Amino acid sequence: MTILLDRRRTLLGAVALAGVFAAPRIFAPAFAQAPAPAPTGPFTLPALPYAPGANEPHIDAQTMEIHHGRHHAAYVANLNMVAKDHGQLASLPLEQILAKLGEMPEAVRTAIRNNGGGHANHTMFWQVMGGKGGAPGGELGLAITRDLGGFDKLKADFNGAGARVFGSGCVFVTVDGAGKLALVSKPNQDTPLMDGNRVLFGNDVWEHAYYLKYQNRRPAYLEAWWNVVDWDKVAARYAAAKSGLLAI
Ligand code: MN3
């Protein structure tokens, strides 16, 4: 009896094991249809040029980490998904893609506008922060006085434009090849690059840029932001623009 029972157990065990090993075969086609890994290029997330806490206390480290590591990273990942099926994107610099938005395939134009714009705006945004604020001097300071009525007026006008953005968007100071400055705000992830212009600096007024620390107090964020602007970096961008070398 004992031997028979053992045999039955062994048989049942064998059937059960066969079932376990058969199962993957049944589901094999589903595995075969799983999406390919997300593309890692041609666009890449630039590293933050400073530690996430470098802009404390005005912009908290957690906001910087989420803003860079999730929001900006998502724009890059989405843009790469578009580029996977539209290889021509890989052969054009981002600022040219955005300047030629109207020539992009209609089916993906909005995706390029939102994600390409988001990639460009954030790439610029990280670069111009990490500083100690203060007032810009030298040739840039003179240009602000000449074209924007001085630094105090620029700050007031810039903060006012930022407060008036309904929903999400950015405020920019643009610069042309002659060094002339202008103030402009854009909705969503639109950028002056889409008009063929160059961005000297700008601030992100999406709620994700400030909500953890400032909640609904966008004007307080706009005011505090000037304390982290790196005017040396902005001055370098100004010189690059006048040399025709400023891209994003
Ligand atoms: Mn943002």
How does residue 190 score in pLDDT terms, banded at 50, 70 and 90?
Answer: very high
- The reply to whether 35 falls in a domain is no
- The reply to whether 122 falls in a domain is yes
- The reply to whether 195 falls in a domain is yes
Average pLDDT, integer, range 19-35 = 51
- 118 Cα to the center of ligand 1, angstroms: 7
- 55 Cα to the center of ligand 1, angstroms: 15
- The reply to whether 12 falls in a domain is no
List the domain range (segments joined by +) for residue 122. Answer: 60-248
pLDDT at 179 over 80: yes
- 209 Cα to the center of ligand 1, angstroms: 6
C-alpha 100/C-alpha 97 separation (Å) is 5
State the chain's mean pLDDT as an integer: 90
- Phi, psi (5° rounding) for residue 11? -65, -45
CATH number for the domain spanning 135: value is 3.55.40.20
The pair of three-digit structure tokens given for residue 115, joined into one six-digit string:
């994600």
> Edge to edge, what strands does the sheet with 198-204 contain?
181-187, 169-175, 198-204
Predicted local confidence at residue 103, as pLDDT = 96
pLDDT at 42 over 50: yes
The residues near 16 (Cβ < 8 Å, ≥ 6 apart) are none
- The reply to whether 148 falls in a domain is yes
- The reply to whether 43 falls in a domain is no
- The reply to whether 103 falls in a domain is yes
- The reply to whether 34 falls in a domain is no
Report the Cα 69 to chain-centroid distance in Å: 9
The pair of three-digit structure tokens given for residue 119, joined into one six-digit string:
């990639």
Domain count, the chain: 1
Q: What is the pLDDT of residues 77-93, one digit of tens each?
A: 999 999 999 999 999 99
pLDDT at 6 over 70: no
- 208 Cα to the center of ligand 1, angstroms: 6
Neighbours of 221 (CB within 10 A): 25
- 173 Cα to the center of ligand 1, angstroms: 17
- 7 Cα to the center of ligand 1, angstroms: 67
Min mean pLDDT across 10-19, 64-73, 94-103, 142-151 is at 10-19
- 185 Cα to the center of ligand 1, angstroms: 14
How does residue 20 score in pLDDT terms, banded at 50, 70 and 90?
Answer: very low
Predicted local confidence at residue 17, as pLDDT = 43
pLDDT at 2 over 60: no
Percent of the chain with pLDDT over 90: 84
Percent of the chain with pLDDT over 70: 86
C-alpha 61/C-alpha 69 separation (Å) is 12
Which one-letter amino acid corresponds to residue 221?
Answer: Y
- 152 Cα to the center of ligand 1, angstroms: 25
